Amino acid sequence: MSLVILLSIAFSCYNLITAAQPPFKQSEASALCNSGWWPPSVTGNTALPYYAWPGVWCDTSRSVKEIDLTHRIGGNLSNMNFSLLPNLTYLQLVHTEMAGVIPLQICTLSRLTYLDLSNNSLAGKLPPCVQNLISLEVLRIDHNQISGSIPPKLGNLERLTNLYLQFNALSGVVPLTIGRLHNLQSLLCSSNDLGGSIPLELENLTKLNVVDLSCNNFIGPIPSFIGNLTSLTRLYLQENKFGGFIPPEIGNLMNLTILNLQRNKLNGSIPLEIGDLRNLEFLDLSLNNLVGKIPLELGKLIKMRAVDLSSNVFTGPLPSSIWNLTSLNSLSLQVNKFSGSISSAIDNLEYLIELNLSENRFDGAIPSEIGNLWGLEILDLSSNNFVGKIPVELESLRWLSQLDLHNNSLFGSIPALNSNSLLYRLNLSYNYLKGPIPKNLVAAFPDTAFIGNDDFRRSSVILHMTVFIPLAAVFISCIVIGSCFLFQRATKSMPIKTVQPETLEKNGNFLSIWNYDGKIAYEDIINATEDFDLKYCIGTGGYGSVYRARLPNGKVVALKKLHRLEAEDLSFDKSFRNEVKHLTEIRHRSIIKLHGFCLHRRCMFLIYEFMENGSLFCVLRDDIEAVELDWSKRVDLVQDTAHALSYMHHDCARPMVHRDISSNNILLNSKMQAFVSDFGTARLLDRDSSSNFTATIAGTYGYIAPELACTLIVNEKCDVYSFGVVAMETMIGEHPGDIVSTLLTSSGEDIMLHKILDPRLPFPRENSVARSIVLIVSLALACLSANPKS
Ligand SMILES: *[C@@H]1O[C@H](CO)[C@@H](O)[C@H](O)[C@H]1NC(C)=O
Ligand SMILES: *[C@@H]1O[C@H](CO)[C@@H](O)[C@H](O)[C@H]1NC(C)=O
Ligand SMILES: *[C@@H]1O[C@H](CO)[C@@H](O)[C@H](O)[C@H]1NC(C)=O
Ligand SMILES: *[C@@H]1O[C@H](CO)[C@@H](O)[C@H](O)[C@H]1NC(C)=O
Ligand SMILES: *[C@@H]1O[C@H](CO)[C@@H](O)[C@H](O)[C@H]1NC(C)=O
Ligand SMILES: *[C@@H]1O[C@H](CO)[C@@H](O)[C@H](O)[C@H]1NC(C)=O
Ligand SMILES: *[C@@H]1O[C@H](CO)[C@@H](O)[C@H](O)[C@H]1NC(C)=O
Ligand SMILES: *[C@@H]1O[C@H](CO)[C@@H](O)[C@H](O)[C@H]1NC(C)=O
Ligand SMILES: *[C@@H]1O[C@H](CO)[C@@H](O)[C@H](O)[C@H]1NC(C)=O
Ligand SMILES: *[C@@H]1O[C@H](CO)[C@@H](O)[C@H](O)[C@H]1NC(C)=O
Ligand SMILES: *[C@@H]1O[C@H](CO)[C@@H](O)[C@H](O)[C@H]1NC(C)=O
Ligand SMILES: *[C@@H]1O[C@H](CO)[C@@H](O)[C@H](O)[C@H]1NC(C)=O
C-alpha cells in the first residue's frame, strides 16, 4: 500500500517537472517537490505550477523567494535541498510539526533575511555555519528541542535584530560575541538551561528593547551596565540565581514598563533610583532576600498596575507615597516584616482588585475606607496585629470573593456580608469576635472559618430521614421546589463593572483582557502553550480544545481555543466581541470566570479561570477521585449548579439559557467545588444568535431534553432537563441512562435509595446529608419529566 502511494507521488513530481511552463526553474521545482512538505493533492496537480503552491512566493523570474508554511506538515526539515533555492529571502515554518535537525545546507541561503523555525519538534544543535547567513535579521528557533550551546559564531550576524531562542534545551553560557550584534532589539532566551553571568559585552547593545533571560540558571550580580540599555521596555530576569543587590543604574531605564526579578537570590534594599522608572507598570521582586523599607520614591510610579514585593524581608511602615499609585490593580506585600498601620488614604487606590498583606506585623485598625475600593475582589489581612472592629463598610464591596482576616486581634461582631453573593472564601478564625454569626454566612462557610473566636454558636437542625422515597413526592414540580428550596435568589441585575479592559489591537490581532493583574499579551499566551502544543491540551469538546497555560506572572488559566470557521468575517468578529463582552460581565461564584478573549487571524480563544480537578464527568469515572467527591461535596455541587442556573435564567441583566449542561461542563476546583462552564458559548458560536428560537442543537447526547430534539425550541426548560440528568449522575455515579425511565415508569412503588446511589461511597450517615440526597434525587426525577410543561 505505502509503496503505491510513494510511486504515485514520484510520478506526479515527474509530470510536474517535465510539463514545464517557461520560464522554469527545474532545480527549484525538484527541490520543492522532493521535500515532502506539500501533499500529493498539490504536487500531483499538474495544472498548478510550483510557484503557485500554497505558501510559496516567487520573484519576477519565478524563482522561489519566500516560503511561509504555518500548517501541520509533520515532515523533515532535512528533506528540502536548500542549496537549490539560492534566492530564498524569507523562510517561515511555524507549527508545522517538522522534525529532524537544522540541516547544514540551510547555511547556503546567503540572501535569507528572515528565518523562523519556531514551534516545531527540531532537535540537535544550532549549527555554527549559521554565521554564513549574513543577511539574516530575524532568527527564531524558539519552542523546539534544540540542545548544545549557542555557537559563538552567531556574533557574525551583524544585521540581526531579533534572536528568539526561548523554550529549548540550550546549555552553556551566552557567548561574548553577542556584543557584536549591534542591531539587536529582542534577545529572548527564557526557559533553557543557560548559566554563567550576563556578559559585559552586552553593554553596547543599546538598541535592545526586550531582554528575557528568565527561567535559566544565570548567576552573579545584575550588572550595573544594564542602566546603559536605555531602550529597554521589558526586562525579565526571574527564576534564575542572580545574587547581590539591584543596581541603582536601573533607574536610567526610563522606558521600562515591565521589570520582573522574581525568585532569585537578590539581597540589599530597593534602590531609590527606582523612582525614576516613570513608565513602569509591572514590578515583581517577590521571592528574594531583599531588606529595608520601601523607598518613598516608589510612589512616583503612577502608571504602576501591579506591585509584588512578597516573600522578602522588608521592614518598616509603608511610605505614605504608596497611596499615590492610583492605577494599581494588585498590591502583594505578604510574607514580609512590614509594620505600622494602614492609612485611610488607601481609598486612593480606586482600581485595586487584589490586596494581600498577610503574614506581616501591621497593626492599628482596618481602615473603613477599604469599603470605598469598589472593585476589590481579594482582601487578605491575615496573620497581622490588626485590632478593632471589622468595618461594616466591607458590606459594600460587592465584588469581594475572598476575605481572609484570620489570626489578628479583631473584636466586636461580624458584619452581615450578606448582600455579597460572590464571596466564596472567608476566614475570620483566631480573633476575638463575638455574637451571632450572620445566618447566610453560617450556611455558606464551614465552622473552621470562625474557630478560635469568643463564644460562637451555630444552630443546626437535625431531621429524621427515611431511605424510601414515596414516588408521590416525585411529581411535585421541579420549578416550584426549585425556587423554594434549592434556588436562593441572588440580587437582581448586577451592575456592570467598568474597569477598563486592556485592549490591544494590532495587525488584525485582537486581544482583550479584563480584570487581570499584570500585563498579559497575546504572546504570553502563545508562549505559555508553546502555540497550543498538544502537551498542554487538557480536553476537547464540540467547540474546540481546552489548554492549560501558566502565564508569566505565575497564574494558571484555561484557554478554550475555538474552531476558527468564521475567519476574516468582520461582522462575525463584531458580534463575537459584543457577545463575549457580555459574558465577561457575568459574575457568579459558581460560574467560571471569563478573563478575556483573543481574536486573531490564525486563532480565536477564550481565557478562563483554571479548574484544577477537571470535569465532573472525568471525576466520576475515576474511582479515586469519585471517592474524594464525598456526599456532602456532591450535595454542594448540585446546589451550586442549581444556583448558577437560577441566576442565569432569572436574576442576571440579560437572562441566558446554557443549552449544553452536562457533566462535561461542570468543572471542579482544587477543593472539589463546582463551577458551570461554557455559559453562552453555544450562543456565541451561533451566527443567528439574535433569537433563542432558531437554535441548532448545541447539546450533548444523553442530556438533551426530549422536546428540544424534536422541536428545536430552546428555553430554560432544556437546561432544567439537563440539570436533572447531571444531578442524577452525581448521585448514582454514572450517566443515569435507562435507570430514569425505569424509575419514572415504576409508578406506585418505592425507590430503594441504597440500590441506586453510587456504590463507591459509604451510605450517607449524617442525617442532614441524607436528607439532601433524598431531596436531590426526587428533584432530579421531577426535572427529567418528558413533558416540558410539568
Ligand atoms: C542538493 O542539490 C545539490 C545541487 O544540485 C546537489 O549537489 C546535492 O547533492 C543535493 N543534495 C541532496 C541531499 O539531494
Ligand atoms: C535568482 O538566483 C539566480 C541564481 O543565483 C540569479 O541568477 C537570479 O538573478 C536571481 N534572481 C533574482 C530576482 O534575484
Ligand atoms: C530527517 O532526515 C534525515 C536525512 O534525510 C535523517 O537522517 C533523519 O533521521 C530524519 N529525521 C527524522 C526525525 O525523521
Ligand atoms: C562598548 O563601546 C565602547 C565605546 O565604543 C568601547 O570602548 C567598549 O570597549 C565597548 N564595550 C565592549 C564590551 O565591547
Ligand atoms: C554607561 O552609562 C554610564 C553612565 O550611567 C556612562 O558613564 C558610561 O560611559 C556608559 N557606558 C557605555 C559603554 O556607554
Ligand atoms: C523611549 O520611548 C519614547 C516614546 O516611545 C521614544 O521616543 C524614545 O526614543 C525612547 N527612548 C529610548 C532611549 O529608546
Ligand atoms: C548578598 O549576595 C551576595 C552575592 O550572592 C553575597 O556575596 C553577599 O554576602 C550577600 N549579602 C548579604 C548581606 O547577605
Ligand atoms: C502624592 O501625589 C500628590 C499629588 O500629585 C502630591 O502632592 C503628594 O506630595 C504625593 N505624596 C507623596 C507622599 O508622594
Ligand atoms: C496571600 O498570601 C499568602 C501568602 O503567600 C497566601 O497563602 C494567600 O493565599 C494569599 N491570599 C489570597 C487571598 O490569595
Ligand atoms: C498567626 O500569626 C503569627 C505571626 O504572624 C504566626 O506565627 C502564626 O503561625 C499564625 N497562626 C496561624 C494559625 O495562622
Ligand atoms: C482559617 O484559618 C485557620 C488558621 O490557619 C485554619 O485552621 C482554618 O482551616 C481556616 N478555615 C478556612 C475555612 O479556611
Ligand atoms: C510559537 O509559539 C509560541 C508560544 O507557544 C509563541 O510565542 C510564538 O509566537 C509562536 N510562533 C509563531 C510565529 O506563531
pLDDT tens for 83-97 read 999 999 999 999 888
279 part of a folded domain: no
DSSP string computed for 404-438 = E--SSEEEEEPP-GGG-TT--EEE--SSEEESPPP
Q: Is 768 in the pocket of ligand 1 (CB under 6 A)?
A: no
pLDDT one-digit tens code per residue, 290-338: 999 999 999 999 999 999 999 999 999 999 999 999 999 999 999 999 9
Distance CA 734, CA 760 (A): 11
Same domain, 698 and 640: yes
Helices 767-783, 738-745: crossing angle, 10 deg rounding? 90
Question: Are 122 and 142 in contact, with CB atoms under 8 Å apart?
Answer: no
Where is the domain boundary, 558, 576, 609? 609
Same domain, 596 and 634: no
Question: Are 145 and 169 in contact, with CB atoms under 8 Å apart?
Answer: yes
Domains of the chain: total: 2
119 part of a folded domain: no
Of these ranges, 133-142, 604-613, 713-722, the one predicted with the greatest mean pLDDT is 133-142
Share of the chain above pLDDT 70, in %: 78
For residue 63, give the ligand nearest its CA. 2
625 part of a folded domain: yes
- The DSSP output letter for 3 is H
The H helix count followed by the E strand count for the chain is 16, 40
Model confidence at 746: pLDDT above 60: no
Q: What is the mean pLDDT of residues 190-208?
A: 95
Q: Of 212, 404, 660, 678, which one is the catalytic site residue?
A: 660
Q: What is the mean pLDDT of residues 144-158?
A: 96
Same domain, 546 and 493: yes
pLDDT one-digit tens code per residue, 445-469: 898 999 998 766 443 322 223 333 3
Same domain, 680 and 625: yes
Report the separation in Å between the CA atom of 694 and the middle of ligand 1, taken as the mean of its atom positions. 60
Same domain, 776 and 641: yes
CB proximity list for 741: less than 8 A, separation 6 or greater: none
Q: Is 176 in the pocket of ligand 4 (CB under 6 A)?
A: no
Same domain, 590 and 632: no
Where is the domain boundary, 609, 644, 672? 609
647 part of a folded domain: yes
Same domain, 523 and 503: yes
Model confidence at 697: pLDDT above 60: no
Query: Can you give the pLDDT at residue 87?
Result: 93
Q: Is 406 in the pocket of ligand 11 (CB under 6 A)?
A: yes
Cell reading at 525: 499566551
In the block, cell 494599581 appears at 328
Please report, for the domain that includes residue 482, its CATH number.
3.30.200.20
DSSP string computed for 329-392 = SEEE--SSEEEEPPPGGGGG-TT--EEE--SSEEEEEPPGGGGG-TT--EEE--SSEEEEEPPG
Closest C-alpha among 117, 88, 239 to residue 550: 239
Distance CA 784, CA 741 (A): 9
Q: Which residue has the higher pLDDT, 124 or 625?
A: 124
Beta bridge partners of 363: 385
Please report, for the domain that includes residue 656, its CATH number.
1.10.510.10
Query: Can you give the pLDDT at residue 455?
Result: 60
Q: Is 526 in the pocket of ligand 12 (CB under 6 A)?
A: yes
Model confidence at 505: pLDDT above 50: no
- Closest ligand 10 atom, CA of 430? 13
pLDDT one-digit tens code per residue, 225-259: 999 999 999 999 999 999 999 999 999 999 999 99
Same domain, 669 and 731: yes
389 part of a folded domain: no
Closest protein CA for atom 3 of ligand 12: 527
Share of the chain above pLDDT 90, in %: 46
Distance CA 667, CA 183 (A): 49
HEC profile of 539-601? EECCCEEEEEEECCCCCEEEEEEECCCCCCCHHHHHHHHHHHHHHHCCCCCCECCEEEEEECC
What is the rounded average pLDDT for all residues in the chain? Answer: 81
Model confidence at 475: pLDDT above 70: no
Report the separation in Å between the CA atom of 269 and the middle of ligand 7, taken as the mean of its atom positions. 12
Domain with 658 in it: 616-783
Same domain, 483 and 541: yes
251 part of a folded domain: no
Model confidence at 777: pLDDT above 70: yes
Q: Verify whether residue 660 is a known catalytic residue.
A: yes
Distance CA 379, CA 333 (A): 12
User: What CA–CA distances, in Å, run from 368 to 347, 364, 390, 399?
Assistant: 9, 12, 8, 17
Report the separation in Å between the CA atom of 84 and the middle of ligand 4, taken as the mean of its atom positions. 41
Report the separation in Å between the CA atom of 307 and the middle of ligand 9, taken as the mean of its atom positions. 15
For residue 322, give the ligand nearest its CA. 8
Model confidence at 481: pLDDT above 50: no
Same domain, 598 and 632: no
Ligand 2 site residues (CB inside 6 A) read 59, 61, 63, 86-87
19 part of a folded domain: no
Residue 609: helix, strand or coil by DSSP?
strand
**CA distance from start to end of the chain:** 60
108 part of a folded domain: no
Q: Which amino acid is at 39?
A: P
Quick one: pLDDT band at residue 683, thresholds 50, 70, 90?
Answer: low
Residue 339 sits at φ, ψ, to 5 deg, of -135, -170
Give Rg (Cα) of the chain.
Answer: 31
Model confidence at 218: pLDDT above 80: yes
pLDDT one-digit tens code per residue, 391-438: 999 988 988 999 999 999 999 999 988 666 688 899 999 999 988 888
Same domain, 602 and 669: no
Q: Is 113 in the pocket of ligand 9 (CB under 6 A)?
A: no
Quick one: pLDDT band at residue 440, thresholds 50, 70, 90?
Answer: confident
Query: Can you give the pLDDT at residue 721?
Result: 87
Q: What is the mean pLDDT of residues 470-479?
A: 30
Query: Can you give the pLDDT at residue 763?
Result: 81
Where is the domain boundary, 565, 586, 609? 609
Cell reading at 549: 497555560
> Degrees (nearest 5) of the Cα angle 650, 652, 655?
60
Q: Is 94 in the pocket of ligand 12 (CB under 6 A)?
A: yes
Same domain, 560 and 655: no
DSSP string computed for 509-526 = EEEEE-S-SS---HHHHH
Report the separation in Å between the CA atom of 255 and the middle of ligand 6, taken as the mean of its atom positions. 6
